Amino acid sequence: MLITFFRAIVLYVVVLIVMRLMGKREIGQLQPFELAISIMIADLASTPMTEIGIPLTNGIVPILGLLVMHLIISILNMKSLKVREIVCGKPRILVYRGKIDENALRKERLTINELQEKLRSKDTVTLGEVEYAILETSGEVTVIKKPEKRNTIPEDFGISPEYEGIPYDLVVDGKIMYKNLKTLGKDYEWLKKQVKKFKIKPEDALLVTLDGKGQIFCQAKGEKSA
């Protein structure tokens, strides 16, 4: 039992490292070849995990082989459009200028109900709102709404908002983010002065952030909302 426990830990670490090296895609955004490799990795890891008589290397070596294959295919994808089309396929337009392309649905083996479901997942209630719907190679559907159905943006009113930048975490759960302070050209003494306005020390903060406009957000540990 103890041997199985440790074998499971070893294989978990190996699979975790391999999946991290494969990238940060979400499951729903995996390309077909990535999904196939993920499924095979899971299968290869499960057998030596439970079968003590099978050497761990019988699982680890094939998993590393699949990682090499993934890296090779990824490089070829970046360098060759033809390879990309063969391995990943091409996006297909399902709705063109407000009209459903029945041939495209048939080729992708999608029903009208499945198309409607995918549109609803993109906050599109009716087909009447859609100008274009494109089935991406990952299986996700990109929806471009008709101009009159789109959400308004400042540009529609001739407004140019100021650049906001991105917020930086300066303290997270009492831990000082020195790397972020260095990026901002600040130091601990500056942080200490800013947090002092909230009557606490940096080490006592649950979260301290600095946004693009120079505004500080600070919340102390154990501070309850009203």
CATH level 3 topology of 92-149: CRO Repressor (3.30.240)
Given a contact cutoff of 8 angstroms between Cβ atoms, the answer to whether 184 and 168 are in contact is: yes
- Indicate if the pLDDT at residue 226 is higher than 50: no
Q: What is the pLDDT of residues 31-57, one digit of tens each?
A: 777 778 888 888 888 888 778 788 888
The neighbouring-strand residues paired with 100 are 95
209-221 burial code (b ≥16 CB/10 A, e <16):
bbeeeeeeebebe
**92-149 and 168-220 agree in CATH topology:** yes
CA distance 212 to 43: 47
Report yes or no on whether pTM surpasses 0.75.
no
Query: What residues does each domain of the chain span?
Result: 2-86, 92-149, 168-220
Report the 10 Å Cβ neighbour count for 37. 21
The mean pLDDT value for 1-5 works out to 74
Q: 60-112: per-residue pLDDT in tens?
A: 888 888 888 888 888 888 888 888 888 778 899 999 999 999 999 999 998 98
What proportion of the chain, given as a percentage, has pLDDT over 70?
A: 94
Phi, psi values for residue 30, rounded to 5°: -70, 140
Choosing among 3.40.50.980, 3.30.240.20, 3.40.50.2300, 3.60.150.10, the CATH entry for 168-220 is: 3.30.240.20
